[in-house]
Structure 1
Amino acid sequence: MRKVGIIKEIWRYPVKGMGGERVETCGLDAMGLYGDRRWAVRDLNRDEIQSCKFRPQLLRCTARTMADSDTPRIEFPDGETVCCTDASVEERLSELLGHASRIEALQSNEGLDRFRRYKLGAIGWLDELKATFDREQGEPLPDFSNLPQSVADFVSVPGTFFLVAPVHIVTTATLSHLENVQQNADWDARRFRPNLVIETLPGEEGLAEQDWIGQTLHMGEVKLTCIATTPRCGAITRAQRDFGADTLVLRTVVRHADQNLGVYGRMSEAGSLHAGVEVWVG
């Protein structure tokens, strides 16, 4: 094994698609960080769980878990804070998103229907998905030719509100590398919605985490296996609470990072994550 850095930041997102909260320590198991993506917004007409890919307005909200409750509170763009179980929250979300919506908590032992993708037709769902990547003329899209049937059928991993895997990781090496390529873009790590930001050691340069695919990260008592790269869509260009829209970010990732920024991880050994803990790869 080799030491590659330390955990700089830990983030969890209590409501899928919304801004999240930074924490200093958090438990991790097969379902991801405790409290991460345990709630989601459903489009009532489509009968489908929504993400910031399709409803970027969600990024203008911030969800936080209160110390005395597992139920998150949502701060809306106007500053009003509403509990997820408040009677007014569905009206507020529907108004913000422009679609009739409700918010719901993840339940154990749920059937598959709750996670199914809305289908416009045989391939309509794929056209919708491709459109979220916001590519300009001549820019490549990710390879969709070998998508598993589960991706066609479900909008998230069945039984979860995760798109691909429970943990998403980015490194300061990657952010610094791309900032050097395009200094006029805004490389705030929050654009990329990581669970872990790893501050890499000198010598870990370029798109560092891309070299970790298939390897295991050792972080104190926790072990995470890096399973796949993260192809980027238009969500990273959207305005969030503390910064504005920036299309240069996506142009740079597509043209100088093979469309990917960050990697997905899956828990190999559960435990507690702590900011400042050393990260080893092997």
Structure 2
Amino acid sequence: MRFGTTTPSADGANASRCWTPWRPPVSDRPGATVSWGTGASRGNFHRVAFGPRTRATRRNWLARVRTIWRYPVKSMAGERLEATEVTDRGVAGDRAWAVRDEVRGGIGGARKIAGLMKLAAEYPATPSAQDSSPATIRFEDGSTGNTGDEGIHQRLSDALDHPVTLWPLVAAENADHYKRGAPDSADMETELRSLFGREPDEPLPDLGVFPPELLANECPPGTYFDAFPLLLLTSNSLASMQATSADSRFDVRRFRPNLLVDDPETPDPFPESAWEGRRVRIGSAILRMEIGCPRCVMVTRGFQELPKDPKVMRALVSENRGNLGLYAAVEEAGRIHRGDELEWLD
């Protein structure tokens, strides 16, 4: 386990400027291989050659887990894992804590409180899969605090320059805890464009695909995740976006997946878009792929050595309808290790 650091690396701790998906040795690859070429050629191939996406036929073992991520506190940087238990709540200990916005009310995240992404959290010991285990928070100046510290609310408020309190998971029956806070704008379209980082001429996401309880709540009651317990992202998608956006950094840390997956044999620049509705076994867990992840303003925030970059959203809207990654639910609990293969069940 480790905090997200500021030194780029190729294994998912920090994405380099252009992602290179994992590939098996040539002798292990069935059939024709994909020529990935240079960054520029990848981008041109993406824009010209691909028509509507279809469900690709693939060898089950080719896609595999590259890195596993857990975020103990909602919207803070998280930690990489070698393996994890996965339950109906997702990765054990993931988003088991959150801050409450004491100005507008409601559970706070980096859509509204950008400074949360400049903090990091990790567990000093293996966390509970169901409750909120003690976690350590690292502040921008390198100092640390614990979630149970008497003065943690004030330390966080000072660091964020915004009044907040830190909360463990609360029972779903405590409905008021999960209700949406007051909007910043009385005009709903203005509010949504702010939350999703969209320009006036860009389409807003289709919010009808989300669970209905999110109309009134910041997150599904009893949890602190945005919509579904897991988020998957492929290194292919990061590489495709990087190839079209030389001036931006499509670093995995901007997109906060739980599982970063390599799918080396598919020609699709965004392979997870073809996975919706499918079931997959990873390790001993079975996941059900749900919906694509419409990206919000968080992916444009500056933190650690990554600059604030609205061009990230412009590129996402232009190239992939503003989406990146795929939400998933857990059909059967189990254990997932880094390097586990994806075995498609349908």
1:184-225 Cα shifts (integer Å, max 9, x gaps) = 210111110000000112225311000000001211211111
Q: Report the alpha carbon displacement of residue 246 of structure 1 after superposing the two structures with TM.
A: 2.1
> Do 2:171 and 2:221's aligned partners in 1 also have CA atoms closer than 8 Å?
no
Structure 1 regions of 5+ residues with no counterpart? none
Give runs of aligned pairs for residues 28-177 of structure 1, distance below 5 A.
28-67=86-125, 70-108=133-171, 110-119=173-182, 127-144=190-207, 149-177=212-240
2:315 matched to 1:252? Answer: yes
* Offset at residue 95 of structure 1 (A): 1.6
What is the CA-CA distance between 1:277 and the residue it aligns to? 0.7
Aligned-pair identity in percent equals 33
**Aligned counterpart, 2:283:** 220
Task: Quote the Cα distance in structure 1 between the aligned partners of 2:212 and 2:266.
Answer: 40
What amino acid sits opposite 2:218 in the alignment? V
Give the superposition deviation at 1:150.
Answer: 2.2
Task: Give the whole-Å Cα distance in 1 for the aligned partners of 2:299 and 2:155.
Answer: 24
Shift of 1:149: 5.0
User: Unpaired segments of 5 or more residues in structure 2?
Assistant: 1-57, 128-132
Q: Offset of 1:86 from its aligned partner?
A: 1.0
**Alpha-carbon offset, residue 179 of structure 1:** 1.4
Structure 1 partner of 2:5: none
CA separation in 2, counterparts of 1:139 and 1:278? Answer: 37
Write the deviation string for residues 63-101 of structure 1: whole angstroms up to 9, x where unpaired: 001127731111011111110111222112112223211
Deviation track 1:79-126 (CA, whole Å, cap 9, x = no partner) reads 111101112221121122232111011134542111011245996566
1:133 is aligned with what amino acid?
F
Tell me the amino acid that sits aligned with residue 108 of structure 2.
Q
Per-residue CA deviation, residues 234-268 of structure 1 (Å, 9 max, x unaligned), is: 11011122422222221110111111000100001
**Partner secondary structure for residue 262 of structure 1:** strand
Match of 1:183 among 227, 246, 267: 246
Structure 1 partner of 2:36: none
Structure 1 position 25 matched with structure 2 position 83: yes
Separation of aligned partners in 1, 2:96 and 2:291: 22
Give the alignment's TM-score, normalised by structure 1: 0.93
Give the drift of 1:141: 1.3
1:229 aligns with 2:287: no
Q: Following the alignment from structure 1 to structure 2, what is the Cα–Cα distance between the partners of residues 68 and 208?
A: 33
Partners of 2:165 and 2:264 in 1: how far apart?
44
Question: Any conservation in 1 of the 2:107–2:181 contact (CA below 8 Å)?
Answer: no
* In structure 1, C-alpha distance between the alignment counterparts of 2:105 and 2:189, rounded to whole Å: 17
Asked if the contact 2:281–2:342 (Cα under 8 Å) also holds between the matched residues in 1, the reply is yes
Cross-structure match for 2:67: 9
Q: Retained in 1: the 8 A contact 2:240–2:270?
A: yes
2:73·2:97 contact (CA, 8 Å) conserved in 1? yes
Q: CA 1:171–1:145 in 2, change beyond 3 Å: closer, same or farther? A: closer
Alignment-derived partner of residue 193 in structure 1 = 256
Closer/same/farther in 2, CA of residues 125 and 42 from structure 1, 3 Å limit: farther
Q: Partners of 1:126 and 1:155 in 2: how far apart?
A: 18
Deviation, 1:146, is: 7.6
Alpha carbons 2:281, 2:343 under 8 Å: kept: yes
